[in-house]
Amino acid sequence: MPLVCLVQHGKSYPEAVDPERSLTPEGAEEARRVAAALARAGVRIAAIYHSGKKRARQTAEIFAEALRPAKVEEAQGLSPNDDPAPWAQRINAMAEDAMIVGHLPHLARLAALLLGADVVEFRYSAALCLAGPPWRIKWYLTPELA
């Protein structure tokens, strides 16, 4: 039964301060804590997919350092306002464990599609792991718990 981990990017600078919205030092540190906790727990994933936005790429790179997936790649359809249905279909067809690093509201809508209900309140750098299909919440790790 494959696992999919949905991760909201780490805290980033406002656009007025940094037009590319890079991770703040706090955002990078929170992502490192969660990634390290996942590695200590033995989480293994084959791939990390992230949006083309800098904050998602930086978060994906931090998780990749800890989890060592076979591939880390930018993927289409993971921007904040993209339709989550194509990714729900793709996830349902996955045979390998994967991580998706993205944004709200996309991640919340994707989780709701997979779970059949809007039951998760995403947080910066938090990781939601689903097992399935049928998809169910396996665990949810926030920076405060990592």
| Whether the Cβ atoms of residue 21 and residue 55 lie closer than 8 Å to each other | yes
> What pLDDT does residue 30 have?
98
User: What span, in angstroms and rounded, lies between the C-alpha atoms of 111 and 60?
Assistant: 18
Three-class SS state of 128: strand
Those residues whose C-beta lies under 8 Å from the C-beta of residue 133, and which sit 6 or more positions away, are 92, 114
> What pLDDT does residue 41 have?
95
> What pLDDT does residue 1 have?
75
Tokens 């909201």 correspond to 8
User: What span, in angstroms and rounded, lies between the C-alpha atoms of 79 and 68?
Assistant: 24
Task: Establish if 73 belongs to a structural domain.
Answer: yes
> What pLDDT does residue 43 have?
95
Read off the pTM. 0.95
| Whether the Cβ atoms of residue 63 and residue 48 lie closer than 8 Å to each other | yes
Domain CATH number, residue 112: 3.40.50.1240
User: What span, in angstroms and rounded, lies between the C-alpha atoms of 67 and 46?
Assistant: 9
In the chain, the amino acid numbered 124 is: Y
pLDDT in tens, the chain (146 residues): 799 999 999 999 999 999 999 999 999 999 999 999 999 999 999 999 999 999 999 999 999 999 999 999 999 999 999 999 999 999 999 999 999 999 999 999 999 999 999 999 999 999 999 999 999 999 999 999 98
Domain span holding position 62: 3-12+21-128+135-141
> What pLDDT does residue 146 have?
86
Task: Establish if 146 belongs to a structural domain.
Answer: no
Domain count for the chain: 1
Task: Establish if 94 belongs to a structural domain.
Answer: yes
